[in-house]
Structure 1
Amino acid sequence: MSGVAIAHRRGDVVEALCWTLAGAVLFLSFGYTEMMGSDLWWHLAGGREILDQGSLWLRDTWSYTAAGERWRNHEWLSDLLFYGWQQAFGTASLVYWKWLVMLACYGGLQALLYRLSGSHPAALLLALLALAVAAPFIDMRPHLYSLLCTVVLLHLGLNRAPLWQFALLFLLWVNLHGGFIFGLLVLPLVLFPFDRPSWAALRRTVCYGLGCVAACLVNPDGVKVVLMPLTYALQADSPFRQIAEWLPPWLPGGIRSPLFFWLLPLLPAALLAYWLPPVRRQLSLPWWSLLLCLLTLAMALTSRRFIPLFGIGLAVFAAPVFGVGLHGLGGRRFLWLAAAVLVAGLLRLWPYPLASAPAYHYLTAEYTYPHRAVDVMLANDLRGRVFAYYNWGGYLHWRSDGDLAVYIDGRANTLYDDATYLNYVRILSGAPGWLGRVEGSGADFFLWPANRGDTAARIRAMLATGRWRVVHRGATAVLLARLRQEVPKPLAPGPDNVWRRVDRAGLDLAAGNAVAAAEMAAAILETVPYQRDACNVRGAALRRLGEEQAAREAMRACRRQFPSVYLR
């Protein structure tokens, strides 16, 4: 190889590295979506339970409505990885797991799009659009593995990789997340050469498909795991399909992706661009990626949780057209553009912390869980059946390992039947007879968010029966117990930790003692400067005291820790 060729290749490597670095920084800046990561807790508890029982075939020990039933945990490998990471690096460090998987996924997508477009700017732009539309759904859950596996699958398809590589991918995928079914649907699209169809290609596609299906059968529940997502997808009347994340994107409630509907016109625009004479002379319509895009669009319109897959599918379909359109911006002459993107990413990332503790606190809405109430229950050895808020079920599993058995939790249809979920929904909505349903469930305790609009009325109704009493009333949660339930008097206060002090500050503020609330919140912030509730209590207390300037300064200090929209 000549010196000129070597220099040219080195220049290409430098160019690729510059665009990859710019993409990584920009992608990371989209990794700060705040949401209540309620599933994370029971995934952690699931990993611990597998190791404690020494088995992948678990019977439920965490609820009182499905106790002893077979829990078909098709994400068992994810649970072990979660728990192993948590044990090795700490709970807060799970934000690094999220960012690593996210960067691997969208960095891999950027590389894939470059192969399809031949343009670094086009690859980065489309990968960025795919991530921007998906960002509201990027939380600490195993579904991130499905996004990553989808990108890996597309790479294998372009490489015309041997069967064993596809089979290995599906062997891992089926034990990480139920999205492997989507992978099986996409597999024929990436294998079959639509531009050069032949019987030999069809036979190869069928053989590869059967091999990957066989790999998917290697899981603790065999064919049942393969059939379960299909059955669920075809049961349009399943009440679990009414959980907010499964609703179509135009219905209210649940996670919203503001860019989704704005991005839809890009599909017909890209399709029309393939028929423009300047483009047709260079490209033929990639049927496989068009079908991938249409499949993911249909899925996204059925359920908003599939919007991230549509973002990937749309980017892949549009990549060749964007490559033609942005071809003039490629090459080492335009490395200044990569530098500009890098600067933009750094500016976007600048307000956010890379430290795990504050990032974890906000990205999982750690402050919304009943830490203090559970501390009190465990300190006083309160055990039994707890009718708890749905999103808190996994947290109780993590903290009590079944000593506080719940009515229902986020494991949903992998364990619970339709009747159990529908009964919970009627209680949640306050439908007539809700209290009778709580008591008919056999619950010994009732654990409910203190800040829900209907909580005060619920407490009054339960106390009016003469069969319940308030055991703990905090700023985050209210705990009631049946009168028949033995409760120590007085209650042990539990550990003197940050949650206890946050609870005290919130109660002082609610009682009108703004001075005490402001002092307690300030003391908390000296040790945990990012604590959201302490920030809000301090700001509210100072405003009540007429110290508006001090309140604004306090909130600015908190937003420097994390610029959350929930700091008010």
Structure 2
Amino acid sequence: MTVPAIHLTETAGARSFVLPLLVGTGVLVFLLLFGDSLLQDSDSYWQIETGRWILAHGTVPTVDSFSFSKAGEPWQSSSWLAQLIFALAMQAGWAGPVIVTALAVAAALAMFTAYLERYASALVTAALALAAMVLIMPHVLARPHMLALPVMVAWFIGLIDAADRKAAPPWALLLVMALWANLHGGFVFGLMLIGPLGLEALRQAEPQRRLSLALRWAAFGIAAVAACCATPYGWGTLLAATKILSLGEVLSTLGEWASSDFSKFGTFEASLLALLGIALARGLTLPWPRLLLVLGLVHMALVHVRSIEHYALLVPMIAARPWALQLGLARKSAEAKPDLAPPAWAGVVAVIAIIAATIAAAPRLHYRFDEPQVPERALAAVQAHGAKRIFNAYIFGGYLISRHVPVFIDGRAELYGEARVMDMMRATAGRDPAALDRMLTGNDIDATMLPPSAAAVRQMDERPGWRRLYADDIAVVHVRD
């Protein structure tokens, strides 16, 4: 196994940039053609409004200024840089956030393709890139986690390449972690990758080098934790990023944090079966650190659907090198002719040209946000009535914030806490009328704004002292009589 491993390492990066460029361009064009699909989460509204707040005040938020139910309470944004980018992009209308998101996803898939092409044919690499895109597509939204996607891929490639070199990660990789920590709270996942990939490096290293290598990986891990704190919030960044995981029951009610559903056959199940079938049919195995990492990623994807993107992008890269060795692809990679590849500067020029063309096309791109989350006419009716304190549905919070209306609740579940969010969910669903009473009376609510499908709408129709003011297909408004 030693000789093929050397061949693989020596030819890493020797392939042409053409296939990654084609994949990235294809992803970019696809997302721009179907850009409306990126605008289906009302959280995008408050994310952009937070970025505007940062621009207006020249600092990051430390207390809540968007709600009346939690006004002035401590809150910090774990995605302040991404929100700033979205706010700047929004100057071009919704085309701006769509373009920024599309470029980020395209970059992530291009890097994914470039890594896999080291160990697989162009056809297999393209097929895996397509499969990864299909898996992550339901989670591709104009939100900060997409801007962090290429950063995650770059971080992982840096770690796994170091492990395969039987060396510690380069210190320059800490800059990637610092960027990730400012873009999105998912950087905690990046820290978790250091352990298993460090073990993989030790497994491959000669016994006499393992102690010194372990110390270097440990030093890198400590430095990575420190790099996470290179944000306006300092050490508070770590605490803020872990708050979302303490929401308990809330995580099972929010769509992106729900468990994977296998009641109907879907792409995630198909990918799991394909992974298992190929491994069993070909007798393929993984070194134990990589196996543990794959099992961990599968577990994450089963528990929370939003983790499917980690599974889709990282599992193929984890298996690529070991499986290429076992399938005898090492020598074929070694026989590649790098001198036939276009010069690297041509790839840089092509990337710049694509980005410039995309930005130039922005004025001609017109997208609309998902209408069921935009209660524009309902809000106009509330404002005409003079109501100030609106008991709004969870999905309407982002839009109301964008209209500078103080909200009762919005997508910042970590601010409101498990008890408040669950009371809201049960009350809206009509399962807890007592919770609805508490929230209406305890917060001096003078109007409610709920989707027509909410069971609480019927309760409000029958509630003494309240009357229906407005209704359409998006929202129903009740006010005090």
Range into which the TM-score falls when normalised by the shorter chain? 0.7 to 0.9
What is the distance in 1 between the residues matched to 2:262 and 2:70? 31
Pair 1:257–1:399, CA change in 2 (3 A): farther
1:83 to 72, 84, 87: 87
User: How far apart are 1:420 and its partner, in Å?
Assistant: 1.3
Which string of whole-angstrom CA distances, capped at 9 and with x for unpartnered residues, describes residues 314-347 of structure 1?
Answer: 2113434369488989989xx9xxxxxxxxxxxx
Equivalent residue letter for 1:110 = T
Partner residue of 1:195? 204
Matches within 5 A, 1:425-464: 425-433=425-433, 435-440=436-441, 441-450=443-452, 452=453, 454=455, 457-462=458-463
Aligned-pair CA distance for 1:46 = 0.6
Larger Rg: 1 or 2? 1
- Aligned twin of 1:206: 218
Please say if residues 461 and 467 of structure 2, whose CA atoms lie closer than 8 Å, have aligned partners that are also in contact: no
Find the counterpart in structure 2 of residue 494 from structure 1: none
Distance 2:468 2:440 in 1: 15
Aligned-partner Cα distance in 1 for 2:370–2:324:
38
- Residue 423 (structure 1) aligned with residue 423 (structure 2): yes
The change in CA–CA distance for 1:355 and 1:258 in structure 2 (over 3 A counts) is farther
Provide the C-alpha distance between the structure 2 equivalents of 1:264 and 1:236, rounded to a whole number of angstroms.
Answer: 28
Could you report, residue by residue, the CA deviation over 1:345-392 in whole angstroms, capped at 9, with x for unpaired residues? xxxxxxxxx98887732xx414541122224445x4835211111011
User: How do 1:250-329 residues align onto structure 2 when only pairs under 5 Å count?
Assistant: 250=261, 258-272=266-280, 275=283, 285-320=286-321, 321=323, 324=327
CA separation in 2, counterparts of 1:430 and 1:203? 57
- SS of residue paired to 1:481: strand
Contact kept, 8 Å, 2:60 with 2:76, in 1: the verdict is no
In 1, the alpha carbon distance for the partners of 2:38 and 2:79 equals 23
Shift in CA distance, 429/377, structure 1 to aligned 2, threshold 3 Å? closer
Instruction: Kindly report which structure 2 residues correspond to 1:485-496, keeping only aligned pairs within 5 A, or say none.
Output: none
What is the letter of the counterpart of residue 481 of structure 1? V
| Range with bigger deviation, 166-175 or 183-192 | 183-192
Which residue identity is paired with 2:219? C
Query: 1:130 is matched with which residue?
Result: 132
C-alpha distance after superposition, 1:21-63 (max 9, x if no partner): 1563157537744662111000011111223333214321221
* CA distance in 2 between partners of 1:449 and 1:99 (Å): 30
Q: Structure 1 length normalisation: TM-score?
A: 0.67
Contact 1:427–1:438 under 8 Å retained in 2: no
Residue 97 (structure 2) aligns with:
94
User: Using the alignment, how far apart are the partners of 2:261 and 2:372 within structure 1?
Assistant: 29
Q: Is the 8 A contact 1:292 1:313 kept in 2?
A: no
What does residue 180 of structure 1 align with?
Answer: 187
Unaligned runs of 5+ in 1: 1-8, 277-283, 336-353, 484-568
1:388 lines up with 2:414 in the alignment: no
Native 8 Å contact 1:174 1:180 kept in 2: yes
Structure 1 distance, partners of 2:90, 2:371, is: 15
Write the distance in 1 (CA, Å) between the matches of 2:444 and 2:137.
Answer: 41
Residue identity opposite 2:410 in structure 1: D
Equivalent residues of 1:121, 1:326 under 8 A apart = no
C-alpha separation between the residues in 2 aligned to 1:231 and 1:474? 36
The offset of 1:433, in angstroms, is 2.0
Secondary structure of the equivalent of 2:389?
strand
Determine the structure 2 residue equivalent to 1:371.
376
Deviation at 1:292, TM superposition (A): 2.9
The size of the alignment, in residue pairs, is 428
Tell me if the contact between 1:96 and 1:356 (Cα under 8 Å) persists in the aligned partners: no
1:416–1:453 Cα change, 3 Å: closer
Inter-partner Cα distance in structure 2 for 1:21 and 1:51: 36
Q: Does 1:482 align with 2:475?
A: no
* TM-score normalised by length of structure 2: 0.79
Q: 3-state DSSP class of the match of 2:205?
A: coil
Measure, in 1, the Cα distance between the counterparts of 2:42 and 2:116. 33
Compared with structure 1, are the counterparts of its residues 383 and 108 closer, same or farther at alpha carbon in structure 2 (3 Å cutoff)? farther
For the 8 Å contact 2:19–2:122, the answer to whether it is kept is no
In 2, Cα distance between equivalents of 1:359 and 1:172:
30
Residues 1:112 and 2:115 are matched in the alignment: yes
1:199 to partner: Cα distance = 0.8
- Structure 2 vs 1, CA of residues 27 and 121 (structure 1 numbering), >3 Å: closer, same or farther? farther
Q: Distance in 2 between matches of 1:72 and 1:162?
A: 31
Q: CA deviation at 1:125?
A: 1.6
CA contact (8 A) 1:105 1:151 kept: yes
> How far off its partner does 1:109 sit?
0.6
Partner of 1:472: 470
Q: CA RMSD in A?
A: 3.4
Which residue of the partner structure matches residue 139 of structure 1?
141
- The answer to whether the 8 A contact 2:248-2:418 is kept is no
Matches within 5 A, 1:17-28: 17-18=18-19, 20-22=21-23, 24-25=25-26, 28=29
Q: What percentage of aligned pairs have identical amino acids?
A: 29
Q: Look up the equivalent residue of 2:378 and give its one-letter code.
A: A
Task: Tell me by how many angstroms 1:419 deviates.
Answer: 2.2
**Letter paired with 1:21:** L
Contact in 1 for aligned 2:48/2:86 (Cα 8 Å): yes
SS in structure 2 at match of 1:73: coil
CA shift, 1:188, in A, is 3.2
Tell me the SS of whatever aligns to 1:424.
Answer: helix
Instruction: State whether residues 256 and 305 of structure 2, in contact with CA within 8 Å, keep that contact through their aligned partners in structure 1.
Output: yes
Tell me, yes or no, if the aligned pair for 1:133 and 1:257 is still in contact at 8 Å: no
Please say if residues 16 and 120 of structure 1, whose CA atoms lie closer than 8 Å, have aligned partners that are also in contact.
no
For residues 231 and 439 of structure 1, the distance between their equivalents in structure 2, rounded to whole angstroms, comes to: 27
- Pairing 1:246–2:257 present: yes
CA–CA separation in structure 1 for the residues paired with 2:161 and 2:43: 36
After superposition, the Cα gap between the structure-2 partners of 1:369 and 1:458, relative to the gap in structure 1 and judged at 3 Å, is farther
The amino acid that maps onto 2:267 is L
Contact 2:120–2:324 (8 Å) recurs in 1: no
Q: CA deviation at 1:152?
A: 0.4
Alignment of 1:508-519 (within 5 A): none
For residue 64 of structure 2, what is the aligned residue in structure 1? Answer: 60
Q: Matched residues in 2 for 1:288 and 1:28: separation?
A: 37
Post-superposition shift, 1:274? 7.2
Contact 1:449 1:455 in 2 (8 A): no
